Amino acid sequence: MKRLSRRGFIIQSGVMATAITLPLALNPLLTKMEMTRIRQFDVIITGGSYSGLAAALALGRALRTVLIIDNGNPCNRQTPYSHNFITQDGKPPHVITASAKRQVKEYKTVEFHNDSVITGNKNEGGFEVHTRSGRKFSAKKLIFATGIKDIMPGIPGFAQSWGISVLHCPYCHGYEVRDQITGVLGNGNFGYEFAALISNWTKDLALYTNGKSALSAQQTKKLHQHNIPIIEDEIENLEHESGYLKKINFKNGITREIRALYTRPDFVQHCSVPEMIGCVMTEEGYIKVDSAQRTSIPGVFACGDNTTKLRTVANAVAMGTTAGLIVNKELIEEEF
């Protein structure tokens, strides 16, 4: 074997050291370049849950380049089983999403990026969005499928039981708690109408107004005719085991058995970017859309819970599909 001279050894060692350390030294630079490079897509979908994935499926099948940006926080994440979505009835929510994701991933023009969209603006080619991690992406069209965020009231036990036995919708969970000791938490017209609705699933029902009743004399009479008591006592806490309600305790020391409690907490939009970029909102706090899921800003679409109080997986999927189809149609009209 040829012996290496001292000079040769020094040169060779230097080359090897550079080969090892150069990629490491370049890495932050590459990351920075990657971060400042704006990648262009046909469509960016913010929100990769039911509605966003449905939109992506339609667009992937239409050969569109699509980026889904999602931060993994769907509103129903605490509910053990999702119901009333045909073919998926009774499956855990994350199982439905995982199956939808697998199907969407089959379409090679669709990419996923785990991040939060924090701002957006118009640019020459359409729109640009910026993410929490500092990335920028650009697209001809935007779809917001970002859902809403429920605001948990300060009643101890409420948040822990949300989606398990504190429920928003009888069509989603009413069958499972039918005939059980049930309450509606609400007041005024809302409390009255929700109690009338829930009386379809159980006759063991009480309306909890959590303070003085604001129901009209006629509403009060009607509820009493249906044996639905109106309880005005202020709630201290909800007693539960792993989210399954046992008792409702009142500030005056009274306690009542309970297994299910329906209510509609206040909400905010999960993502403020649509409003930030000028989308008109409804009085109730939803993004205003037409029947084709178009917002007030041409090229910007919204679908799913962020646009409607008809809050079900099936509806979110239907709206996402519509958004996908109409976005593609608009792109064809612009390009053809």
Ligand X SMILES: Cc1cc2nc3c(=O)[nH]c(=O)nc-3n(C[C@H](O)[C@H](O)[C@H](O)COP(=O)(O)OP(=O)(O)OC[C@H]3O[C@@H](n4cnc5c(N)ncnc54)[C@H](O)[C@@H]3O)c2cc1C
Q: Give me the amino acid identity at 83.
A: H
Note whether 312 binds ligand X by CB under 6 A: yes
Q: Which listed residue (43, 58, 277, 313) binds ligand X by CB under 6 A?
A: 313
What part of residues 30-49 is at the interface with ligand X (CB under 6 A)? 46-49
CB of 187 to ligand X, least distance (A): 21
Q: Cα separations (Å) of 256 from 1, 198, 212, 224, 261?
A: 91, 18, 18, 18, 12
Query: What contacts 124, CB < 8 A, 6 or more positions away?
Result: none
Using an 8 Å Cβ cutoff, are 208 and 284 in contact?
Answer: no
Q: Which listed residue (130, 135, 140, 270) binds ligand X by CB under 6 A?
A: 270
Note whether 161 binds ligand X by CB under 6 A: no
| Structure-token pair, residue 234 | 């202020």
Residues in the chain: 336
Q: Which listed residue (96, 143, 146, 245) binds ligand X by CB under 6 A?
A: 146
Q: Cα separations (Å) of 153 from 40, 193, 223, 265?
A: 42, 21, 25, 7
Residue closer to ligand X (CB basis): 219 or 306: 306
Tokens 């009338």 map to which residue?
196
Note whether 231 binds ligand X by CB under 6 A: no
Q: Which listed residue (38, 39, 61, 84) binds ligand X by CB under 6 A?
A: 84
Comparing CA positions, the residue from 134, 145, 120 lying closest to residue 270 is 145
Applying CB under 6 A, the span of 68-76, 178-186, 202-210, 222-230 interacting with ligand X comes to 68-76
| Structure-token pair, residue 155 | 């009643």
Note whether 294 binds ligand X by CB under 6 A: no
Q: Which listed residue (44, 45, 51, 279) binds ligand X by CB under 6 A?
A: 51
Note whether 326 binds ligand X by CB under 6 A: no
- Element holding 101 (H helix, E strand): helix 93-105
Note whether 55 binds ligand X by CB under 6 A: no
Note whether 117 binds ligand X by CB under 6 A: yes
CB of 79 to ligand X, least distance (A): 4
The DSSP 8-state label assigned to residue 175 in this structure reads G
Express the helix, strand and coil content of the chain in percent, nearest 5 each: 35, 25, 40
Residues near ligand X (CB under 6 A) are 46-52, 69-76, 78-79, 82-85, 116-117, 145-147, 150, 162-163, 168, 172-173, 270-271, 304-305, 311-314, 316
